[in-house]
Amino acid sequence: MSQYFHHEIDCLKDTMVAVGALVEDCIAQAITAILRRDVDLAHEIAAGDADINDMEVDVEAECLRLLARYHPVATDLRLVIAVLKINNDLERMADLAAAIAKRAVNLATAQAIQIPSLLEDMASASQAMVQQSLQAFQQGNAALAQQVRDADAAIDAYSRRLYALIYDQIHSDPEQSAPLMHVKNYTWQESCLLYSLVSTTIGESHSTDSIRSNRRFNTVAVSGLLRRC
């Protein structure tokens, strides 16, 4: 494959890292909006999701252009397909951050509901995974990608502990507590997408849907309660 193709792929990787940095910031700001009950910040994040959606469309268009122009095969083809998949994963993570921000608006009026500090710890761990995932992708570092996959177990542990903390509240006051359970689930789902992202980096085809279906230990348990919101 020509050097021009690889140069354009390198530029595309840089763009993906830039998108990832924006997504990481969205996640951090969304959790900040939750913890501070900051409605204005929540609205800003929800509005900013449109910019990331536009970038996702631009990256996809560039990938399709590269496929049409260079007709890559083997490793080069897999690389372009990986960029397409990771691009989609990042856009879905941005959507989840926007969803968290929208729940911040609900929680801002639920002053009686205590927001567990463990949620911030879980979000911080997720943000670290975003950084490492993007670094692994940019460098093609399979060992670092595997470290991110291994770290995913910590997110599961946080999720289980948060579920236990929120469960009692959601029974006593479901209308006000359910948004907090949604936030926990959205943060957990982001880790599912990160697992998918790093699996793509090391050349494995793990479906996010199958990962999520294997890790529904708490989502099913509260699905009836969450439908009320």
pLDDT 10s digits, 187-198: 999 988 988 888
- 95-115: pLDDT as tens digits: 999 999 999 888 887 766 788
Residue 211 clears pLDDT 80, i.e. is over it = no
Residue 207 clears pLDDT 50, i.e. is over it = no
**pLDDT score of 228:** 43
- 123-163: pLDDT as tens digits: 899 888 988 998 888 888 889 988 998 998 999 999 999 99
Cα–Cα distance, 32 to 128 (Å, whole number): 16
Can you tell me whether residue 114 is helix, strand or coil? coil
Six-digit token string for 126: 């997720």
If pLDDT is split at 50, 70 and 90, which confidence band does 169 have? confident
**pLDDT score of 117:** 87
**pLDDT score of 1:** 60
Residue 222 clears pLDDT 60, i.e. is over it = no
Q: What is the mean pLDDT of residues 181-206?
A: 83
**Is residue 19 a contact partner of residue 52, using CB atoms and an 8 Å limit?**
yes
- 37-84: pLDDT as tens digits: 899 999 999 888 888 999 999 999 999 999 999 999 888 898 899 899
| CB contact burial 85-94 (16+ within 10 A = b; e otherwise) | bbbbbbbbbb
Cα–Cα distance, 214 to 194 (Å, whole number): 15
Give CATH superfamily name and number for 3-226: Phosphate transport system protein phou homolog 2; domain 2 (1.20.58.220)
**Is residue 66 a contact partner of residue 90, using CB atoms and an 8 Å limit?**
no
